[in-house]
């Protein structure tokens, strides 16, 4: 097996709107499930953010994994890197397909139809059964106990490779809602809008240093941003 070849392929997640990995039924089922995880209320939810498209592209293969630094197109993996990635996501593919079948089985027991045919309350009941936990109640964020923060959070504090279907679905829903639109989710940057984040104008602006999130850093934190060891670690001389 040869070494990887990195070639920029001028393709966008918007070039293909429908399913790439999922069947249409699987697409519709995951779209409905994500819409219950981040529902539409006075803000857009997972459905408006096209979270299902993000998940579909993640499972499709290697063509939508590594966007080029200029923000145009994706890097094509070949050789060992492509084989390793395919092996890595094979378990996720299986979890999703088995999870969709289980959602439909539970939906049939509860309401006599497929998951997508149930009302929202019954869909919630299916997801509660699937997760083994009650649906979370409402909560309010406040300033109490917020503190001044510490080290910047890691880029990905949860290892997806060790998650079973439902927690994987929840994590991927959050990623598709809040992640960079280049990966297929966060349509029209609606996820960023919900939390008041302006976001970079393009992926390229995060690479060339023209965009920074410094204004969101907490003043007076334990480590000033410019001197934080994690920041300095990646700073070029």
Q: Is residue 104 within 8 Å of 94, Cβ to Cβ?
A: no
Distance of CA 34 to the CA centre of its chain: 11
Residue 151 lies in a domain: no
What does the alpha-carbon distance between residue 212 and residue 46 come to, in Å, rounded to a whole number? 26
Q: Count other C-beta atoms under 10 Å from residue 187's C-beta.
A: 20
Residue 146 lies in a domain: no
User: Which residue range is the domain that position 74 belongs to?
Assistant: 7-135+161-197
Distance CA 113, CA 231 (A): 52
Q: Provide the domain count of the chain.
A: 2
**Are 192 and 205 within one domain?**
no
Given pLDDT bands bounded at 50, 70 and 90, which one contains residue 4?
very low
**Co-location of 180 and 236 in the same domain:** no
pLDDT at 235: 55
Residues 193 and 235 in one domain: no
- Nearest-angstrom CA–CA distance, 114 and 101: 9
**149 in any annotated domain:** no
Same domain, 63 and 108: yes
3 state DSSP class of 204: helix
Q: How far apart are CA 221 and CA 19, in angstroms?
A: 44
Rounded CA gap, 146 and 143, in Å? 5
Residue 19 has pLDDT above 50, yes or no: yes
- Domain contains 51: yes
Do residues 99 and 176 share a domain? yes
Is 233 found in the same domain as 166? Answer: no
Say whether both 29 and 121 belong to one domain.
Answer: yes
pLDDT digits (tens, 9 = 90+) for 120-175: 999 999 999 999 888 888 766 665 555 555 555 555 556 777 788 999 999 999 99
Q: With a cut of 90, say whether residue 103 has pLDDT above it.
A: yes
Question: Could you tell me if residue 140 is inside a domain?
Answer: no
CB atoms near residue 25 (< 10 Å): 14
Q: Does 71 map to a domain?
A: yes
Q: Which of 12-16, 169-173, 221-225 is least confident?
A: 12-16
150 inside domain: no
pTM assigned to the model:
0.81
Check whether 108 has a pLDDT greater than 60: yes
- Considering the domain architecture, whether residues 231 and 171 belong to the same structural domain is answered as no
Same domain, 77 and 191: yes
pLDDT in tens, 60-93: 988 888 888 776 788 888 888 888 888 888 989 9
Q: Is 171 helix (H, G, I), strand (E, B) or coil?
A: helix
Is 30 in contact with 96 (CB distance < 8 Å)?
A: yes
> Do 26 and 45 reside in the same domain of the chain?
yes
Q: Do 233 and 192 reside in the same domain of the chain?
A: no
Whether residues 113 and 229 fall in one domain = no
């Amino acid at each position: 097996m040869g070494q990887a070849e990195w070639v920029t392929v001028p393709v966008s997640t918007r070039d293909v709107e429908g399913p790439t990995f999922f069947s249409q039924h699987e697409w519709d089922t995951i779209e409905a499930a994500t819409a219950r995880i981040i529902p539409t209320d006075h803000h857009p939810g997972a459905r408006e953010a096209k979270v299902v498209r993000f998940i579909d592209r993640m499972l499709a293969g290697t063509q939508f994994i590594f966007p080029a630094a200029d923000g145009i197109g994706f890097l094509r993996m070949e050789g060992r890197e492509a084989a390793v990635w395919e092996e890595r996501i094979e378990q996720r593919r299986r979890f999703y397909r088995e999870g969709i079948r289980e959602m439909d089985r539970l939906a049939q027991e509860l309401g006599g139809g497929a998951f997508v045919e149930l009302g929202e309350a019954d869909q919630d009941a299916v997801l509660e059964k699937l997760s083994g936990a009650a649906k979370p109640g409402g909560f309010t964020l406040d300033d109490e106990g917020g503190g001044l923060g510490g080290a910047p959070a890691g880029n990905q504090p949860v290892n997806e490779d060790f998650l079973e279907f439902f927690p994987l679905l929840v994590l991927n829903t959050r990623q598709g809602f809040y992640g960079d639109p280049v990966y297929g989710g966060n349509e029209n940057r609606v996820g960023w809008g919900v939390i008041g984040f302006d976001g970079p104008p393009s992926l390229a602006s995060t690479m060339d240093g023209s965009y920074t999130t410094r204004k969101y850093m907490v003043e007076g934190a334990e480590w000033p941003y410019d001197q934080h060891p994690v920041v300095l670690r990646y700073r070029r001389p």
